[in-house]
Amino acid sequence: MVINFSKKVRKNLSRILVLALLIGGGGLYLQRDKKSVQTSNAVTEKSINRYTMDVVFDDQTKRLMCNQNIEYANNTKNDLDKIYFHIYPNAFSRKEFAPFEKSEMKQAYPNGFNEGYIDLKNILNNNEKLEYKIKGEKNDLLEIKLDKQLKPGDKTSIDMKYNVKIPNSEGRFGYGDNTINVTNWFPIACVQDERGWNLKGYETLGDPFYSETSDFYINILIPQKYKMGSTGKVVSEKSDKEKKLYKIEAKKVRDFAFVLSTKFDINRDSYKDVSINTYNLNKEISGDVTKIAKDSIKIFSELFGKYPYDTYSVVASDFYIGGMEYPTLVMIDQSLYNKKDKFLLEYVIAHETAHQWWYSVIGNDEISEPWLDEALTEYSTVLYFEKKYGKEVGDKLIKTMEIQTKNQICENIFKPTTKYKDSTEYSLNVYTKGAVAFNEVRNKVGDKVFFDTLKQYYSTYMYQNVNGAKFVEMWNSKGVDIDKIIREYK
């Protein structure tokens, strides 16, 4: 994410009937390109979770009616009798839960607080009901009791039926006047790592997410008038006069997001075998945005290693915070789409694109160690400007960052998001000071070692989750005491 920049009824819709009508309706059928995803395989077929969903969006009530199946793999060394899922929409169910700073509530809810939530109907395993509990401080955690122990290496199949109410909000999850941002919206498996289950809720500061690389097979039915940008690629599109049905595949990604608008001007280009799509609300600037998206993918591919997916989408959104990354898709504050904010817009797009390497392909616990992806992403943004506009531009950015952090109390860039006072302190430490620290590492070790190590880090940990210790170990193996260099920035 990029924060604090320039401004700081249930309807009884029969899903099956609607889908059947559409499929059988002899509507327009578009077969999009089906290039296979070229990926090196650090995550095996056996260990990957697989989500299959049917989603119907009801425009009147701003609800999603969902059927979800998850083939869940036990990748731990222990038998499991329970599985946990984040149900983030419930963090929007009450004003006091809403993951926004108090001073930002007006921006987040320009029309006043409006609730969002997930309404679970049932959870089944082989047609047998499973017991479940809703937990967490914001009711955003789901505990499912398995009817029999899941052995290490084994998989279980869980079916869920639920509705999601999307709030009228201009945060990550919600709708405004122009777009409907459907993010962190479905029950997503919590990560179990060497520390056990990670059950943290939807925190206010930072990007409070941590997930596993998974495969997604999603059917989404939307009203004809909407255009959609999503994670993954559309493998087929069927439509009749009223509705459109998208069949989407997103393989080896750690989340799935989509954004809808009736107003999108879609602009397309490609970089090698990556199809680049931008969804714009200001047509005048669509071409510029596509160029920035393409340059970002090119520059980071050259610096760190190949972008492994075949689509990348930059989506203008009603999103007041700046920019937010999801796999193969980023949301960008639509108010930045003007000539006056060109630099800022380019900065935010470059930053969010760098997250495709540091967050999307290589994941980490963004609450415990936000610096691991954010500091590296912020420094990657500087590198983008350096590669595109020359060394002086990159140096200027670093100089500015040094000045910004000098006059601030910058006690520690390694704290979890929950230990920062507010988003300004968080941003100055983790992003700005973090980027300056990485620049210092580069100055100390030289370009060759610096970029070789980042390339090796990327290729070694593709699709996995890392932690600070693994990152430091990678540098140590190259004879670099990165800990010492970075810790000088405490």
Q: Residue 146 or 330: which CB sits closer to Zn ion? A: 330
By CB under 5 A, residue 1 contacts Zn ion: yes
For residues 298-317, which are near Zn ion according to CB under 5 A?
none
Burial class from Cβ neighbours inside 10 Å (0-12, 13-18, 19+) for residue 339 reads exposed
Helix (H) or strand (E) holding 57: strand 49-58
Task: Give the shortest CB-349-to-Zn ion separation in angstroms.
Answer: 12
Q: Residue 116 or 434: which CB sits closer to Zn ion? A: 434
Q: Residue 97 or 384: which CB sits closer to Zn ion? A: 384
Task: Give the shortest CB-456-to-Zn ion separation in angstroms.
Answer: 23
Question: How many C-beta neighbours within 10 Å does residue 347 have?
Answer: 23
- Separation of alpha carbons 227 and 232, rounded Å: 15
Strand-by-strand arrangement of the 329-333 sheet: 265-271, 274-280, 311-317, 329-333, 323-326
By CB under 5 A, residue 205 contacts Zn ion: no
- Separation of alpha carbons 279 and 375, rounded Å: 27
Sequence-distant (≥ 6) Cβ neighbours of residue 418 within 8 angstroms:
203, 205, 367
Instruction: Show the tokens assigned to 411.
Output: 């006690």
Q: Residue 170 or 374: which CB sits closer to Zn ion? A: 374
* Residue of closest CB approach to Zn ion: 1
- Separation of alpha carbons 355 and 154, rounded Å: 32
Question: Per-residue x/- marks for Zn ion, 342-381, CB under 5 A?
Answer: --------------------------------x--x----
Q: Residue 55 or 354: which CB sits closer to Zn ion? A: 354
Task: Give the shortest CB-2-to-Zn ion separation in angstroms.
Answer: 5
Contact indicator for 233, 274 with CB cutoff of 8 Å: no
- Separation of alpha carbons 325 and 9, rounded Å: 31
Contact indicator for 385, 397 with CB cutoff of 8 Å: yes
- Regarding beta strands 117-125 and 258-261, do their DSSP bridges make them parallel or antiparallel, or are they unpaired? unpaired
Task: Give the shortest CB-122-to-Zn ion separation in angstroms.
Answer: 37
Q: What single-letter DSSP state applies at residue 159?
A: E
Burial class from Cβ neighbours inside 10 Å (0-12, 13-18, 19+) for residue 227 reads middle
Contact indicator for 323, 332 with CB cutoff of 8 Å: yes
Q: Residue 163 or 356: which CB sits closer to Zn ion? A: 356
Task: Give the shortest CB-259-to-Zn ion separation in angstroms.
Answer: 18
Q: Residue 379 or 475: which CB sits closer to Zn ion? A: 379
- Regarding beta strands 233-239 and 243-253, do their DSSP bridges make them parallel or antiparallel, or are they unpaired? antiparallel
Instruction: Show the tokens assigned to 14.
Output: 């029969």
Burial class from Cβ neighbours inside 10 Å (0-12, 13-18, 19+) for residue 314 reads buried
Task: Give the shortest CB-1-to-Zn ion separation in angstroms.
Answer: 4
Q: Residue 165 or 351: which CB sits closer to Zn ion? A: 351
Task: Give the shortest CB-331-to-Zn ion separation in angstroms.
Answer: 12
Q: What single-letter DSSP state applies at residue 429?
A: I
Sequence-distant (≥ 6) Cβ neighbours of residue 202 within 8 angstroms:
86, 88, 91, 97, 99, 138, 140, 184, 208
Task: Give the shortest CB-151-to-Zn ion separation in angstroms.
Answer: 38
Q: Residue 97 or 357: which CB sits closer to Zn ion? A: 357
- Separation of alpha carbons 211 and 217, rounded Å: 17
Q: Residue 221 or 413: which CB sits closer to Zn ion? A: 413
Task: Give the shortest CB-377-to-Zn ion separation in angstroms.
Answer: 5
Contact indicator for 53, 66 with CB cutoff of 8 Å: yes
Task: Give the shortest CB-121-to-Zn ion separation in angstroms.
Answer: 35
Instruction: Please count the residues of this chain forming the interface with Zn ion, following the rule CB under 5 A.
Output: 3
Task: Give the shortest CB-358-to-Zn ion separation in angstroms.
Answer: 8
The residue ranges that bind Zn ion (CB under 5 A) are 1, 374, 377
